[in-house]
Amino acid sequence: MRPRPQSVLFCCDLNSIRSPMAEGITKKLYGRSIYVQSAGVRHRAEIDGFAVAVCAEIGVALERHRARSFAEMQEWGDDLGAFDLIVALSPAAQRQAIELSRHSAVEIEFWPVLDPSGLGERREEKLAHYRATRDQILQRIRARFGEPGAEQG
C-alpha cells in the first residue's frame, strides 16, 4: 500500500453528493491525520438531502457542508498544487483537476463512482442508490488510505 497522503482534495461535478460524502467519510475515519477538502467543477447552492441522510446512517454529518467549485477555491486562495492527492470522482472533475494542476506535482487519481442523483422512483429506491454510492466511496477510501489508526510507513 502506498503511504497515506497528508492532504486530499475530493472532486466531482457539483460538490453536492459524491465529493462531500468522500470528504465527510475521510474526516470521520482519519480525523486530523489527513487534511481533507472537496470541490466541484460547478457547484450547487446546497448539499443533496439524500447524501445527508445516508451519511448520517454511518455517523457522518454533512448538513453543514457548503458546496464550492474549483473556481471558488482559487478565488479564496486555495492552491490545488498544495494537496498531496486529488481524487476525481467523475470524468469532468478529472479533466478539470488535470487542467488546473498541470504546473504542480500533485498526484491525481480517478475513482469512477456512479452519481446516484436521478436514479430510482420512490424514496427507498433513491436511498438504496445513494447507499451504494456511499459504500463504494467508503471501500475505496479504506483500500487507498488503510485502516484508521493503522501506522503508515
Write down the domain spans for the chain.
7-145
- Reply yes or no on whether the pLDDT at 153 is more than 50: no
| Residue 138 CA: distances (Å) to CA of 68, 75, 94, 103, 105 | 22, 30, 19, 30, 26
What span, in angstroms and rounded, lies between the C-alpha atoms of 71 and 42?
8
Domain covering 7-145 in this structure, CATH number: 3.40.50.2300
Mean pLDDT lowest among 8-17, 59-68, 100-109, 136-145: 100-109
Tens-digit pLDDT profile for residues 86-138: 999 999 999 999 998 888 888 999 999 999 998 988 999 999 999 999 999 99
pTM here? 0.92
CB 37 within 8 A of CB 61: no
